[in-house]
Amino acid sequence: MISPRLRVLFALVALLGAHPPVWAGPMPTEAAAVVNGVTVPRKALLDVVQAVIAQLDDIPDTATTEKYRRQALESLIDFELLYQDGVARNLTVTQADLAAEVKQTEKSFPSPKAYQDALAAKGLTKADIEQETRRALVVRRMLQDVVWPGVTASDEQIQRYYQEHKADFDHPAQIRVSYILLPAKKDAADRAKVRTSAAALAARARAGGDFAALAVAESKDPATAQKGGDLGYISRGTMGEAFDQVAFSLAEGQVSDPVETPSGFAVIKVVGKREAGVSPLEEVRSRIVVVIKGEGRDKAQEKFVSGLRSKAAIEIAPDLR
């Protein structure tokens, strides 16, 4: 797991601007900090702070904005230290990985035009984006190959976390559901055709057909089809009002008629029911592992970066200290 500071950077790094130059002598006025002779530009700092504030519901007060500014500057310094160490270790990035990451950045915008407009607004070129993305990928490799290896979640840690956070795993009354999804377009003719196909699948399941096999063969939900349509245990509100109304009215083992949803038509089977209570450990183990490993990676990262800072020459602009 990337620390909160670096998580912000990875989200924005492709738009931070060109690689900062190496400077000698007095700190240049455009520098927020100098890390081992390399500047952290004030523009990069401003971009990060503005991006964070843009995600908030309300405009923060002066004290909160100052807190974000300090966090952003520390993140930029950490990023530069990790990048420099990655270069020193001769970590490289393939052209294929670089191209894929740049493409992913472009896809995060509503359209290619919106992406190009964003670059133009910041005065950035394709070369700038590739250079900053390459730096981000080097830092990612540093974290994955150097900093995070060895971070684990032991059975003892998992058990302790479960016992200490049982309240987090409370659940209301739930049902275990499998379903088959057939997407439908908005026009009436297509929806009628898809409804007929869904009704035929429901009839096959009620006649003794293997529901899981039907889901594997027919469902168009990529997240569940290969699991036999299994959604696991769900609470009301998980799948939407129309789905809930039918699913929670079914008896265990019962198969529904086609249910119209925003995505198309669903055929639902209730596999099990349980009363409100605490989810068993084995059901939430994977969630706990994610949390424990995330905390372990954060600690490993903080320790590693602290070591880099202890050996680095870092100067922060006087007005930003």
Percent of the chain surpassing pLDDT 70: 91
Closest CA to 273 of 168, 172, 169, 170: 172
Which pLDDT belongs to residue 26? 54
Which pLDDT belongs to residue 100? 93
13: pLDDT strictly greater than 50:
no
H or E segment and range at residue 123: none
Which tokens in the block code for residue 115?
């992406």
| Numbered ranges of CATH 3.10.50.40 in the chain | 173-275
Pairwise pLDDT comparison (159 vs 17), residue with the higher score: 159
Estimate to the nearest angstrom the gap between the alpha carbon of 181 and the chain centroid.
Answer: 25
Q: Over the stretch 102-122, which tens digit does the pLDDT of each residue have?
A: 998 888 888 989 988 888 887
CB 19 within 8 A of CB 107: no
Alpha-carbon distance of 69 to 79, in angstroms, equals 15
H or E segment and range at residue 57: none
CB 174 within 8 A of CB 275: no
- The amino acid occupying position 228 is G
Which pLDDT belongs to residue 125? 87
Alpha-carbon distance of 268 to 283, in angstroms, equals 22
Q: Residue 49 — pLDDT band, cuts 50, 70, 90?
A: confident
Mean pLDDT for the stretch of residues 20-35: 67
Q: Over the stretch 243-275, which tens digit does the pLDDT of each residue have?
A: 999 999 999 999 999 999 988 999 999 999 999
Q: Over the stretch 217-247, which tens digit does the pLDDT of each residue have?
A: 999 999 999 999 999 999 999 999 999 999 9
Closest CA to 151 of 301, 18, 310, 316: 301
Domain 173-275 class in CATH = alpha beta
Alpha-carbon distance of 32 to 10, in angstroms, equals 19
Alpha-carbon distance of 309 to 22, in angstroms, equals 18
Q: How many residues does the chain have?
A: 321
17: pLDDT strictly greater than 60:
no
Q: Residue 27 — pLDDT band, cuts 50, 70, 90?
A: low
Which pLDDT belongs to residue 121? 85
Q: Residue 19 — pLDDT band, cuts 50, 70, 90?
A: very low
Which pLDDT belongs to residue 309? 96
Poorest-confidence range of 25-34, 130-139, 229-238?
Answer: 25-34
219 three-state secondary structure:
coil
Angle at the Cα of 77 from the Cα atoms of 69 and 41, rounded to 5 degrees: 70
Which pLDDT belongs to residue 14? 36
Domain 4-152+290-320: CATH superfamily is Porin chaperone SurA, peptide-binding domain (1.10.4030.10)
Q: Describe the crossing of helices 126-141 and 95-107 by its angle, rounded to 10 degrees.
A: 110
| Identity of the highest mean pLDDT range in 47-51, 79-83, 129-133 | 79-83
Mean pLDDT of the chain: 89
CB 73 within 8 A of CB 30: no
CB 1 within 8 A of CB 297: yes
Alpha-carbon distance of 45 to 211, in angstroms, equals 55
| Numbered ranges of CATH 1.10.4030.10 in the chain | 4-152+290-320
